[in-house]
Amino acid sequence: MLEKLVEIIEEQLNVEGVEITEKTDFQNDLEADSLDLFELSMAIEEAFEVEIPSEELSQFTTVGSVIEYLKANGMELPGLVAGSDVKIAPIVSSKRALQVILRYWKKHYDRKPDLVVIEGPKAGGHLGFSGEELEKYETENYDSVIEEILTLTKPEGIPVVVAGGVYTRQDMEHCLALGADGVQLATRFVTTYECDAHPAYKQAYIDAKPEDIVIVKSPVGMPGRAIRNDFLEQVEQGNRFMKGCRKCITTCDPKTVPYCITQALINAVEGRVEEGLLFCGSNAYLATKLEHVQEIMEEFS
Ligand SMILES: Cc1cc2nc3c(=O)[nH]c(=O)nc-3n(C[C@H](O)[C@H](O)[C@H](O)COP(=O)(O)O)c2cc1C
Tens of pLDDT, residue by residue over 34-89, are 778 778 778 877 765 556 666 556 556 643 444 454 555 567 789 899 999 999 99
| Mean pLDDT of all residues in 135-141 | 92
Pair 237, 195 in one domain = yes
At 31, the pLDDT band (50, 70, 90 cuts) reads confident
Distance (Å, rounded) from C-alpha 26 to C-alpha 15?
Answer: 11
- Our answer on whether the CB atom of 281 is closer than 6 Å to any ligand 1 atom is yes
Domain holding 232, by residue range, is 189-286
Nearest CA owner, ligand 1 atom 23: 164
In a domain, 140, yes or no: yes
* pLDDT value of position 65: 43
* pLDDT value of position 73: 53
Pair 150, 177 in one domain = yes
| Mean pLDDT of all residues in 120-136 | 92
Ligand 1 centroid to residue 245 C-alpha, Å: 24
This prediction has a pTM of 0.83
In a domain, 24, yes or no: yes
DSSP run (H or E) holding 215: strand 213-217
- 113 Cα distance to chain centroid: 17
Q: Which of 134-138, 210-214, 251-255 has the lowest mean pLDDT?
A: 251-255
Q: Are 241 and 259 in contact (CB under 8 A)?
A: yes
Pair 273, 207 in one domain = yes
- Our answer on whether the CB atom of 163 is closer than 6 Å to any ligand 1 atom is yes
Looking at ligand 1, which atom is closest to the CA of residue 197? 1
Largest CA distance in the chain: 64
Ligand 1 centroid to residue 253 C-alpha, Å: 24
Specify the DSSP class assigned to residue 59.
Answer: G
- Our answer on whether the CB atom of 280 is closer than 6 Å to any ligand 1 atom is yes
Judged against a pLDDT cut of 60, whether residue 219 lies above it is answered with: yes
User: CB under 8 Å to 289, separation ≥6 — which residues?
Assistant: 191, 206
Other CB atoms within a 10 A radius of the CB of residue 67 amount to: 20
- Our answer on whether the CB atom of 278 is closer than 6 Å to any ligand 1 atom is no
In tens, the pLDDT along 146-199 reads: 999 999 999 999 999 999 999 999 999 999 999 999 999 999 999 999 999 999
**Catalytic one of 29, 33, 143, 181:** 33
- Whichever domain contains 103, its CATH number is 3.20.20.70
In a domain, 294, yes or no: no
Ligand 1 centroid to residue 168 C-alpha, Å: 16
**What is the tally of structural domains in the chain?**
3
Average pLDDT, the chain: 87
Ligand 1 centroid to residue 216 C-alpha, Å: 15
Q: Are 227 and 252 in contact (CB under 8 A)?
A: no
Pair 261, 242 in one domain = yes
Judged against a pLDDT cut of 80, whether residue 26 lies above it is answered with: no
- Our answer on whether the CB atom of 185 is closer than 6 Å to any ligand 1 atom is yes
Q: Which residue has the higher pLDDT, 210 or 104?
A: 210
Distance (Å, rounded) from C-alpha 151 to C-alpha 145?
Answer: 10
- Our answer on whether the CB atom of 218 is closer than 6 Å to any ligand 1 atom is no
Judged against a pLDDT cut of 70, whether residue 33 lies above it is answered with: yes
Length of the chain, please? 301
Query: Is 33 noted as a catalytic residue in this protein?
Result: yes
At 242, the pLDDT band (50, 70, 90 cuts) reads confident
Other CB atoms within a 10 A radius of the CB of residue 185 amount to: 19
Looking at ligand 1, which atom is closest to the CA of residue 163? 22
In a domain, 265, yes or no: yes
Pair 179, 200 in one domain = no
- Our answer on whether the CB atom of 153 is closer than 6 Å to any ligand 1 atom is no
In a domain, 292, yes or no: no
In a domain, 298, yes or no: no
Looking at ligand 1, which atom is closest to the CA of residue 282? 26
Give, rounded to a whole angstrom, the gap between the first and last alpha carbons of the chain. Answer: 60
User: CB under 8 Å to 156, separation ≥6 — which residues?
Assistant: 102, 112
Judged against a pLDDT cut of 50, whether residue 259 lies above it is answered with: yes
Pair 155, 101 in one domain = yes
Looking at ligand 1, which atom is closest to the CA of residue 120? 23
